[in-house]
Amino acid sequence: MNMGLKLKQRFVLLAVVVIMALVILYILAGRSSAHGRDKTWFQWKQQKDENTALSSNLLLDGLMLDKRPSGRNHVQKGGLPGFEPIDFTADLGGRSPWTIAASWVSSRHIYPEDAEELGGILQKMATAEITHADVGYKGTQLKALLVLNGHQKAVFKPKRYPREYIIEGKPYDGYDRHNAEIAAFHLDRLLGFRRAPLVVGRKVDLRTEIMPVGSDRLMSTFLTQGNDTCFYGKCYYCKETEPACADGEVMEGSVTLWLPSNWSLKGRQRHPWGRTYRNDKQARWEYDDTYCNSVKQTPPYNSGPRLLDILDAAIFDYLIANADRHHYETFEKDGDKGMLLLLDNAKSFGNPNHDERTILAPIYQCCKLRSTTWERMKLLTGDRLSQLLRKSLANDPIAPVLTDAHLAAIDRRLLTAIDMVQGCIDENGRDNVLVDDSRHH
């Protein structure tokens, strides 16, 4: 009797313990799926597994792209617009590539989502006859101004480093990287911004393509080093002792299409989170974490899309590791509502082993972001972003554009940025962080 009771008590106790354990497990599981940060990591792991299972071709061509017989790329319902690989053989139907590109520019985008001629235009930028070449128009870095057949201006930024070269030191150190300018253009497109002008890689024969058409100002900076033809141009940092040199007479570089003249730029505007470029002086954002409150009250950041554009640019610059957005430009005619153009991305992709967290200062100090940007970021987790970028860059004339280390760095940085925004959401609530401003444009 006594013994029987004890057994019964033990059984009840055991049952209670088991039930409690189940309840605790259930609560924990519920929490982790409700808790965004865990969800992000969970999704990330899931996507990573998915991605290794799928070949990148299947992911890109099979799932997202519905090729209609017309040859036009239609994005499937629920697909990912802007994710289609760029077709460098796209037909322009006999029309001028420069006219098409100029007609694309609008207040919020440099080219449309379904720009089917994009690859065809890039192809022309990489091959069109150069009818004139001059020193760079302005700026501090070595470059050349080209005129392509059909009176199209373009900027040529020469190769200064081998792909594997790692820039040490300050996050904005080193010469411009032509491959970074190319990769940034593709990444801007994948993020859905379309705020960077068209860029393509090009190998230029200096003797046959530049010398016959180069201005005296440019040609007077030509010299040879061993078997290699070099030029040092004319700019603030241009020095005869630090020329850019071709491989023999063939010089690799990036070609950026000049924006059309009817979209004139509003001069250099100081970026509120710009750096001082001095060791002895800090910018206010570097010591004052409430800095965003004052930015938010100051025009043009107190209304319209400008602050959200700054935040988008922070995400973009963090991914490409560009700590050099000291100024920015907008379209003159759009005034305070003008979009922040992602011009000059050549100081990025310097060191794949370093993630410059301070580039995200606008994000962690303002704790805001466009909801469209946030949704796009989450779609690109795992190694989706690097896979899409790899694929997008594969047909560029100077491919491979980025080393594997840089591609891996982008995926890693995306996770950090997502975690940061998720932290803001956890702390302040989704509605106080994510901004849906789609009705403005």
Which range of residues in 55-63, 252-260, 367-375, 392-400 is near ligand ATP by CB under 6 A? 252-260
Judged by beta carbon distances under 5 to 8 A according to partner kind, the member of Mn ion, ligand ATP, none in contact with residue 215 is none
Q: Which H or E run contains 36?
A: helix 36-53
Name which position in 265, 405, 408, 415 contacts ligand ATP (CB under 6 A). 265
120 within 8 A of 216, measured Cβ to Cβ: no
Residue 253 interacts with ligand ATP (CB under 6 A)?
no
Residues 6+ apart with CB under 8 A from 361: 273, 285, 286, 314
Name which position in 100, 146, 155, 367 contacts ligand ATP (CB under 6 A). 155
Least Cα distance to 387 among 34, 51, 12 occurs for 51
How far apart are alpha carbons 349 and 106 in whole angstroms? 29
Least Cα distance to 135 among 216, 228, 203 occurs for 216
Tally of residues, the chain: 441
Least Cα distance to 293 among 358, 369, 362 occurs for 362
Size of the site for ligand ATP (CB under 6 A): 14
Q: Write down the least CB distance from residue 294 to ligand ATP, Å.
A: 25
Q: Site residues for ligand ATP, window 288-347 (CB under 6 A)?
A: 329, 343-344
Would you say 153 or 368 has its CB closer to ligand ATP?
153
Beta strands 434-435 and 369-370, pairing class? parallel
How far apart are alpha carbons 204 and 159 in whole angstroms? 11
How far apart are alpha carbons 229 and 232 in whole angstroms? 11
Would you say 134 or 344 has its CB closer to Mn ion?
344
Would you say 144 or 435 has its CB closer to Mn ion?
144
Residue tagged active-site, from 324, 383, 396, 411? 324
Name which position in 123, 141, 381, 422 contacts ligand ATP (CB under 6 A). 141
Q: Write down the least CB distance from residue 344 to Mn ion, Å.
A: 4
Judged by beta carbon distances under 5 to 8 A according to partner kind, the member of ligand ATP, Mn ion, none in contact with residue 343 is ligand ATP
Q: Write down the least CB distance from residue 146 to Mn ion, Å.
A: 18
Would you say 329 or 344 has its CB closer to Mn ion?
344
Which range of residues in 22-30, 112-120, 251-259, 271-279 is near ligand ATP by CB under 6 A? 251-259
- Beta strand segments in 137-280, E: 144-148, 152-158, 199-205, 222-225, 228-231, 244-245, 250-257, 265-270
Residue 139 interacts with ligand ATP (CB under 6 A)?
yes
User: Is there a binding annotation on residue 22?
Assistant: no
User: Is there a binding annotation on residue 257?
Assistant: yes
Q: Write down the least CB distance from residue 138 to ligand ATP, Å.
A: 5
CA 436 to centroid of chain Cα atoms = 21
Residue 264 interacts with ligand ATP (CB under 6 A)?
no
Would you say 260 or 300 has its CB closer to ligand ATP?
260
Judged by beta carbon distances under 5 to 8 A according to partner kind, the member of ligand ATP, Mn ion, none in contact with residue 265 is ligand ATP
User: Is there a binding annotation on residue 89?
Assistant: no
Phi, psi of 55 (to 5 degrees): -75, 155
User: Is there a binding annotation on residue 190?
Assistant: no
324 as an active site residue: the answer is yes
Least Cα distance to 49 among 352, 381, 388 occurs for 381
Name which position in 55, 57, 103, 140 contacts ligand ATP (CB under 6 A). 140
φ/ψ bin of 189: left (φ > 0), alpha (ψ from -120 to 50), beta (otherwise): alpha
Helix, strand or coil, per DSSP, at residue 369: strand
Which range of residues in 255-263, 313-321, 379-387, 418-426 is near ligand ATP by CB under 6 A? 255-263
**Residue facing ligand ATP at closest CB distance:** 139
Residues 6+ apart with CB under 8 A from 334: 107
CA angle 24, 26, 31 (to 5 degrees): 95
Query: What is the set of active-site residues?
Result: 324
The site for ligand ATP (CB under 6 A) is made up of 138-141, 155, 197, 256, 258-259, 265, 268, 329, 343-344
